[in-house]
Amino acid sequence: MSGRVAEPLGDWDGAWVAAARGELTRALALGAAAASAALEDGRLAVAAEIRHDLVRFGGEPGEIPAVGGMAELYSAHASAVSDASALDSVAASFADAGARLLAAEASAQAARVHRLEGRNGSAAMSAQRARAWLASCEDAATPALSSLDTPLDLTVRELEIARLVATGLTSRAVADRLVVSVRTVDNVLHGVYAKLGISGRRELASVVGPLVSGSSPGDGP
């Protein structure tokens, strides 16, 4: 995609900005709103791309408009999110279409599902393919790619808070950014520490990986 869509779809950019700040819940909300605005405006191809970004953020996209072209792959990707073999297939299709970043993301997601299901050999192969495709995507960093280095059993909310805290933000700062209570942040953190087997904030950065950075709607394929 070249350029940026006009308002009211500016929140599409806002969704990627939120993702870059580690605010995945906000990114999903802004993306969903932008997709709805695109549908209401009759811009089905734009809506398909935005809803696919929700898959890339780790969320549920809703129905992706059937407008042909890449939208068919977007829909296949959305349907494959819990099926490692299907994700591997979608990744190969993205690569064949020249969309190497999307191929890397789908393959990274496949690696995560393979690991969750105990297929470590298949997980390693999917991760290797993801990194090979990623090598041609200079400085790319997206929520989907972060799954290559993400602990398996953290939820989107847990990962969101853990990564923000890992940057050095206080619980109050995280709470203000995510519009939740400090108690919510601290409760989530205690759950994260228990899941990861760590004692506190200082260990988070080495376990949960870096925040997403440098990506936007136009960087997709």
Convert the pLDDT of each residue in 95-114 to its tens digit.
999 999 999 999 999 998 99
Given this model, what pLDDT does residue 55 score? Answer: 94
Given this model, what pLDDT does residue 64 score? Answer: 93
Kindly report, residue by residue over 132-171, the tens digit of the pLDDT: 998 888 778 888 887 776 665 677 788 889 888 988 899 9
| Distances from the Cα of 143 to the Cα of 18, 66, 81, 106, 198, angstroms | 11, 25, 14, 11, 23
- What CA–CA distance (Å, rounded) separates 140 from 111? 18
- In contact, 16 and 8? CB cutoff 8 Å: no
Q: Which CATH class is domain 152-208?
A: mainly alpha
- Point out the residues of the chain with pLDDT beneath 70: 1-10, 149-153, 209-221
Given this model, what pLDDT does residue 218 score? Answer: 45
